[in-house]
Structure formats: structure tokens, C-alpha cells
Chains A and B, each alone.
Chain A
Amino acid sequence: MRYTLAFEDADPEDVDLLGGKGAGLARLVRLGLRVPPGYVVSTAACREYLASGALPDGLFDEVLARLEQLEARSGKRFGSDRDPLLVSVRSGAPVSMPGMMDTILDLGLDRRSAVAVARLTGSTAFMADLVARFHRMYAETVLGVLDVHDGADRVARDVAAGDDPDAAFAAVWAACDAAVAEETDERVPTEPVEQLRGAVEAVFRSWNTRRAKTYRDHHGIPHDLGTAVVVQAMVFGNLSADSGSGVVFTRNPATGEPLLYGEFLAASQGEDVVAGIRTPDPLPGAMPAEAFAELEATCRRLEREQGDVLDIEFTVERSRLFFLQVRRAKRTPQAAVRIAGDLLDEGVLDLAGALGAVTLDHVRQIDRPGFDPADVAAARERGDLLTTGTGACPGQVSGVLALTSERARELADAGHDVVLARPVTSPSDLDGMIASQGIVTATGGSTSHAAVVARALGTACVVGASDLDIDVAAGRVRVGDRVLAAGDPVSLDGASGEVFAGAFTRATAASATDVVRRLLTRAGPVTGCRVFARVTLPPQVEPARARGATGLVTAVDDLLAASGRLEKLVQTLMRQGRVTRAVCEELEESVVVELTPLLREAGDLEVGVRAVDFLSDDARELMQQTALLARFPELSMPVGAPDLLRAQLAAVTRAAADSGARAHLSVRHLRDPAEADALRALRAQLPGAVPVGAYLTSPRAVSHLASMVRSDELAWVEVRTVQARMFGIPARQLLTQQPLDDYVRRGLLADPRTVLDPVVDSLFAPALAAAPRSGPDDDSPALGARLSGRVSAPMVGALYRLGLRRFAVEVDEVRPALLALGQAATGG
């Protein structure tokens, strides 16, 4: 045979020939699973069809010959009036793409076989349903009919189990035909063999739908690749009491609990479960005992062999277990982390495998802060639970109440967290929804426009809170006898649908993060890395420590900006017109006041303090940068105003002594060994001063690394800024979506936000090799990488492979960074 392969003869690796679905089924057969028999019409046949516009000579003879083999293996006959064989026909391209023909189930029904189905299942109603479903699927996928057969479905639904099968078939088929006739002159073939021919050709045809072509154009997929066709015997879970169908996960995909999790519905087809016609029973218990034992043993074996949690669809036909589909199970972030840890403990996965099974986003989602359950309980006690609507997008948020889109935008622009409440939502509310942290609507369900928009934005949302009487004109919300005014604090839980009066503080629940800690603790010793967290205020220290930070970094400009002292300092400078003793004293006192509590909280954590950077993007407006630098051009040079550096060095030294903490001062933008020496000379003038270090931001600085840093200093390099300078892109554009999103998508650049550029890599590699080592017992270069914004696994991996072992990241990114380092260290 030239064009077709039985599942058991096919090589699962040959995806190009078999397509994705065919290869998947061949793989199941290789795994030793009982799969309903079937065969693949290869992509070679499709390629000939595409070239000539007609089915290749001899192809259909082969299709029919393979069908005979199926009949022999299953003991059933296609179109038979005794024990009819029905088949499914699916498209299967080597690459999943849009526009391809969907599945047709139950193909092979004509009057005689339909009557036989009614007799075998003992139900004319089931047969009528099957016929209507097949007819609809065929009409939609092969004939391209758009309308659903509503009228025909009604005819099928009216058929009772005991009706005469002959008459019922005729009535349902006629009703279906009538529905199709409204749209096209074509008809669904009544002969099973013609149905098969039509379906195979439709699969080939679907290769050239507009959508498929567009997709291939944009993804550079060759137009002559072609698709395969999978023809497979149907098995029936509704033939007898010892038949049924179900789905099983090898572990609970919501919690990760290591128990089989699934559903089984006796005497039913899989579609009944999907359509919600009947409620399935939880596993185990509902299945025939022998079939369940086989399922359980198979699950255990497959999980070990595949090293992953699997999602398995199966049917039991007269006590025989058939596997329809085995896939990697989707899972919640919590489950993903727990499963990875458990599989590691069980020896199914090694550390590399376990760390590779978790993504940085999983860890971020678990770290997402929420309300303290005790606060929520107290609020309920106080009667602050206003109402419970439908949770439409999860998230626990507090904010000030806004009743119009415009007001939400104004409040957000003024720096408030906003909860927008609307009676109904229209497109004109979009801007307010974008500006808000939370959205509540009085109407609508979990599939309303508001819910769709909220989920697209990732904004916490409660819909259908019908108890809320929202009076937009009066600026009031009434709930029972309680009245809230616009501007009042409110809170909502987008998962539970609860809406509260008042605000809650948010924190990451310890219980949720224990599993993360367990996994990352295993990774820590392997990486040999230290991760510093960026903090500004004392309350940020504990979360940083809890996430596994072994050090902290902070910046004097951030410390002073947070307390309003930066603006005052700049005013003093401008007023005095030069760097006077008064200016230096104000700076020194300000830093001591703001830094001491932070260092006290830091305890045994090393703290890197960066001196004020008068060129900083972030504090540009607060510092009146343009005016300030026009008056004091020397401030744009790192060692341009030594007195200010001396004041900060004195301040950090005093704060460290007062608090007993370990700290060092680094100066941004140093780019020459002479500057580093000048900084050291300043330090030498101050007895007992904390260590100083360079903070590199330019390619030049990196290339002079060996002569700029010393083993006993803690120097840093700001990767984003160096990368931006290499590209000639403003560094701030590496923290925003645009303009790079569109640019990267057009293929004009590899994303400099997530990938270390080869040119930057070739700058770092020799510089780091020549750099002093961190210490006698530590062979890593005496340099830490400062990463801003979200860390990316490829970037962290590249820096790790360059030998860097010290990193500084935002507090929320400590765990993602630890995971990325673990993945890099284990070769993931």
C-alpha cells in the first residue's frame, strides 16, 4: 500500500508523514495501549491531491482495503445491519493550524446500520441522536453549512426509546436534509462508502482554506506540506451496562494531590459527558472493577514512563477498556508546583526535570498577593460583606469606588487603586475598566461583555451583583439599607464573587507558597547563587526574605523620593546655587533617617545601597532634571560632585553602625578605572567607612571590568541598560510593551528584553573571564547582575552560563529568578 498505514505499522516519529494526530495514535499503540483500530491516509496522498486536484489513482481502493482490515479486527462491518462498524474521520496536519477540517464522528450510518444501532443499544432515541449529530457534523465540516440544525434536533429529541427505528430514522434524516437544503443544493450522502470518500476529500480540501493559508504564510510553513487523514473505528460506551466512557487525570489537576482524578459515566458516549446531558460519577467506584484496575495500573505506568501527569480519555465497550487520547494534563499553577515536587520526591523526575516542569509564570501566579483570610472573616463578622455576585475573573483587590468610566480614569491618574461599579457595561466603559483594579457589574453572567473584557485585561471582576442598586447620577450605591458613596473604599474577590465595604491589606498566603519554597530550596544549593531583592521601605524586607532573598539592594534616590526628601534636597540645591555644606548635611541626615530603619529590618542580610543618580529616568520630574543639570552640570558625572558622594558614604556608614547591618555603597555609571580609584580615595578619607563598589551601566565599563572591580568589593552591572546602549534604544523602552512588541513580532529584532544579545554576550564573556574572583573560596567573577522588571528564563540562563552568581531583582521576581537559576544550573 502506498498511501495508507495502520496505526501499528506507523512510526510515531514520522510526524511529517502521519500528521500530529496520526503520530499520536501510533505512539499510543507503541506504548502498549488498547486503542480502537484505525489507519492513517498519509500526507503523501494529500500532496498528490493538491498537485493534481483529484484523489490519486488507487487511493480510495486502499482506503477501502484498510477498512476491510478494520472490519476483520473489530468483528463489525461497515454499513451492516447486524453489528455495524462506525468510524471517525479527522484531519491531522504535521503542524496544528487553523481552518483545517474538524472531526466527523459516527460516520457509516445509513438506514440499515442505524436500525441495527437502535437494536443493539435498545434505544431508538439514542440512534436518532446519533444520526442527527452525524448529519450535522458532516453538513458543517464537509458541506460548509453554517446553520445549526435546530429544527432537526427537535425532531431527534422527540424520538422515544421504544419508537419504531425505521420510521424514526426516516423522519430524522428528512428533517436534517431539509435544514441543509435551506443553505445548499448538496446533500449528506446516504451511502456509508460515499460518506467516507466525501470526508477524506474534505480533509484534503481544507488544507487550502483561507484561514489555513493565512496561517501558513505568517508562520513560514510550506504550502505543499499537506495534511494526513485519520480513520478510526468508533467504540461505544452505551452498548450495555458494563460499557461507559470517562476522563481521568493521573493526579488531581487542580490541587496536584497524588490521586487518580476523573469521571466515568456508565452506559454512555463521551459526548454525553461533554454536553452535560448526564452527570458523571467520580472515579473510582463507578467503573467495572476489572476495567478500573487496568486503568489504574496503566495510569501509574504511563506517568512513570512519561514523567508527567497525563489526561486520558477512554471508553469501556462491553468491559473492554479502550484508550482514545493521552495528553499532558493541563494544571493550575499550584498543582504544577506540587506535582513537580512530588515527582521529584518519588524519583520519577530528577531535579532538572522537576524544575523544568514549572514555569516562572506559575511561581508568579502563586505569589500573587491576596486578602488575609482572618481579615475577610472579621469583615464578614462586622457585616461588611455587601453581596455575592458571580466571580468572573479571579483576583482580590481593594480600591476607591467609582461609578463612571471617566471618574475611574481620573482617580487612577491621581494614583488611586480604583474599583469601578456599573449597572451595565457598554463599549464606552472600556477606558474606565482599563484604569481600574477591580470591576463590579450589577447585571450579566460569567460570559457577559464585562467578564470577557475583564479577563482579557486580567482585572479582578464580579458580575451579576444584582443586590447592588447603582445610582450613577446620585453617585451612590445602595445595598439593602446600606449606602456607599463614590469614593468610599471597597474590596472584591473575583473568584468567590464577594464584594465588601472597606479596604483590606494584601499579602501572599504562606500556605500557598510552601510548595514553592520546598521545590526552590532543593534547587538553591545546586545553583550556588545569591539573589538580592530591591526594596525601598522596611515592610518590604520581610516578604523579600520569605521569598528566599539572601541580600537587598536599595537606591538613595528611591529612599528620599518615597519620603518627599528628594524634592526638598533639589530645592535646597537650586536655592543655594552650589554644593554647600548645608546641602551635604541635609543629604547625609536624610539618608541616615530613611536608611536606618531599613537596615535594622534587614538584620543579617547584606544591603547594597546605590548613591543618588541625577540622570535617573524614574526621578526625572521630581528632580527637575533639566533645570538641575543646567545649573549643576557636574552632577551628570558619577564622581562629578565628590562632596555629595562623601555625604552619602558617611550616611550609609552611620546607618550601618547604628543598625549593626552589613551595607555597601555603589555608584552608578562609573566607566573608567580612574573613577573607581577616585571613589576608593574618598572612602580612604573616612575611617571605618562601608565598602564601596562600582555600578556599571555602559559597554565601556564592562570592557574595563578587570581593572574596575576588586575581590573585596561588591560591584553590580545593570544588564538592561548595557543591553539598551548596545542597541541604541532608550533603556526605558526595555520595560514597556511598545514599541518592541510589534517590532519583535515583525521579526526585525530578537527581543532585547528577554534574550541576552550575542554582541552583549561577546562583550561580557572576556570581561568576566578576566575579572577578579569573588573570594578565595568563590571562583565566580566579583560582579552581580542587576535585573529590572520581569526576569526572563533565557536571560537569566545566559548570565548564569557566563559565570555570574550574584543577582538583584524586584521583590516579586525573587522566586522566578531562583527558579530560572535552578533551571539553568541543572541544564534545563
Chain B
Amino acid sequence: MSDHRTTPGTDQAPDLSAVENTVAPSSDTVRVERAASESAGTSRVAGLMGGAFGRNIGLVLALLVICVVGVATAGDRFASVDNMVTILRLASIFGVVSIGMTFVIIGGGIDLSVGAIVALSSVWATTFATQTMAEDTHWIVMVFVALAVGGACGLVNGVLIAYGNVVPFIMTLAMLASARGLAEIISERRTQIVRVEGFKDFWSADVVGVPLLVVIFALVALGGWVLLNRTTFGRRTLAVGGSPEAARLAGINVKRHTALLYVLVGLCCGLAALMFLARTSTGSSTHGSLLELDAIAAVVIGGTLLTGGRGTIAGTVIGVLVFSTLSNVFVLNNQDSSTQAVAKGLIIVVAVLFQQRLARRSTST
């Protein structure tokens, strides 16, 4: 302490000229030294390595273990290109919703209504009226309807949560009940067959051998990564989730941003509904039931903090793959869904415990 002690009269003020320089900088002042940008560059690489592998190492291991079990128990039936495509197709719908969920959770919220919004969007996009209009014009009408319904549900959630101060858990629980109820009313609990040929042709197509659904998942994941890591929107999401008060006092419009996060997940649900139409050729009020639990589980085992402020898209993608590979292995071994559910529960707990330990170690260093 003694070296910090100062006495009046001694001139220990720091170099003020440097301060003044930056107070009113002209746009083309001071090029920063090479060293600074280089060190930033190397640490960026280190950050990527640490981010994708370091933080999710446990999850990657879990995925490997599941694959080993798959090969051991089902052999070539598991380790085939066809089966890999099956797993990815299984993962795609739930993956798209999980990406949206990742944003909401990083932003400090939660959305329990995703499954119900998927159901409502799928039903609304396949009503007699919508499909007739689509046949008269273009199948893209169905896409607009599904996205509009999903986005609108998200907007209702977001506005009431952000501006009405309704707790996210309660608001989306209410949306869960009412959106699925509305889907049942509209469809009269009947399964609505997709009869627009243009829609079926386009959505069941392959892109260079890869099913369109898988391509969509990949694009959404990539888009989500860019949005989170490379845009002001992503940065603000991290800030709002990390400390809403600090974000507010830094001048961010926290309420508007929160509302937008729910719109984003709603749009993901609309897209997921379209993917359901493609996979099952039907719209139904039972689509996407319990999807919210799977999505939240994938996000959480992917290392996103439920309290907000921290999370990665890569983690969520791996989390999604863990669950879909697990179901695939169980199905190949003719195990019933009950044992699968138990295994899923175990994985969630183990993954979260493991990540907590990892997180503690990384903050202590």
C-alpha cells in the first residue's frame, strides 16, 4: 500500500495529454500499433478453439460415446451414410427451434410455447383457405402464413413480457396453452393433408444429395452463429441477458430488444412448422408436442446459462445432435421410448454437472 500513498504537492498525475487526445479524436488519428492487433488476432484463434472444443469438450465426448455404443450395438445399420442423414433429418426441426431458443435464453428469457406455436403455424398454413389460395397463386403463400403466424405469436409473447412485465415463464406458458388450443379449434382436431403439389415438390427435394430440411438446419445454425457473434443484435443480446440494468444504463433499448428475441424464436417456430409439413405432409395440432422441453434441454446441455448472458450456437448444435443420435441408437436397438427418456434425463444432469465444474475452473484461473 505504501507505494500508492501520495502526498500533496508531488506531481503524480498521469499523462493527461494522452487522455486529451482521445477525448476529441478526429476520425483518422493514431493508427494502432501492429502489436495490439496481432495479439488480438492470436487470441481470437485461441478463443475459437476454446469456444468450440474447450467449452463443449464434455458434450463432444458424450456424442462420441453414443456413437461408439451405436456402432457396437447396431454395427453398419448405425454407421451408414443413410443413417447419418436420418439422424440429421431427425435433428433438423428440433434444431431450428433450439437455435431460436438459444437467443431467448442468452437474452435472459425462456420460451415454453415453441411447440404450440409450431402446431398453430402448421395448422394455419394448411387450412382449406390457405391451401386454396396457394393453389391459385403460389405455394409460397403457405410459407408466408406459417412465418407470419409464428412471428405474430412471438410478438405477442415479446410485447407482453417486455412492456407488460409478465414473467416469461408465465407468459409463454399461457401462449403454450392458448396456441395449441387455437390450433385444435382451427383444425377441429383433424389432421390436414398438404395437397399443394408445388410445396411438396420443393420441400422434399434434395440439395446435392442432402435433404432440404438438413440444409435449412445448417443455414439457420450458420445464420444464428453470425447473428450472435458478428452483429450488434448478438452483442446486445449478450448484454441484455448478462445484466439488464447495466445494458439499460449503457443506453440499450432493453424492452425492444427483449421483444425482438421472442419474435425471432417465433419465426424459427414458423420455419419449423413448414419443415413439419414437408416431413409429414400434414398440418396438425399435435405437431411439436413437448418440443419446448427438448429445445431447452439441448440449449442447456450446450452450455448456455439459463440465467442468461452466456451461450454458444455451436454448443446448442452439438446438444441437438446428442439427443437425436441417442434416439436413433435406441430406435435401432428396438428399445422403447421410456428407456430413451431415462437416458436423456441422465445425460442432461451429467452434462450440466460437468459443465459447472468446467466453468468454475475457467473462472478461477
**Are A and B associated in one complex?**
no
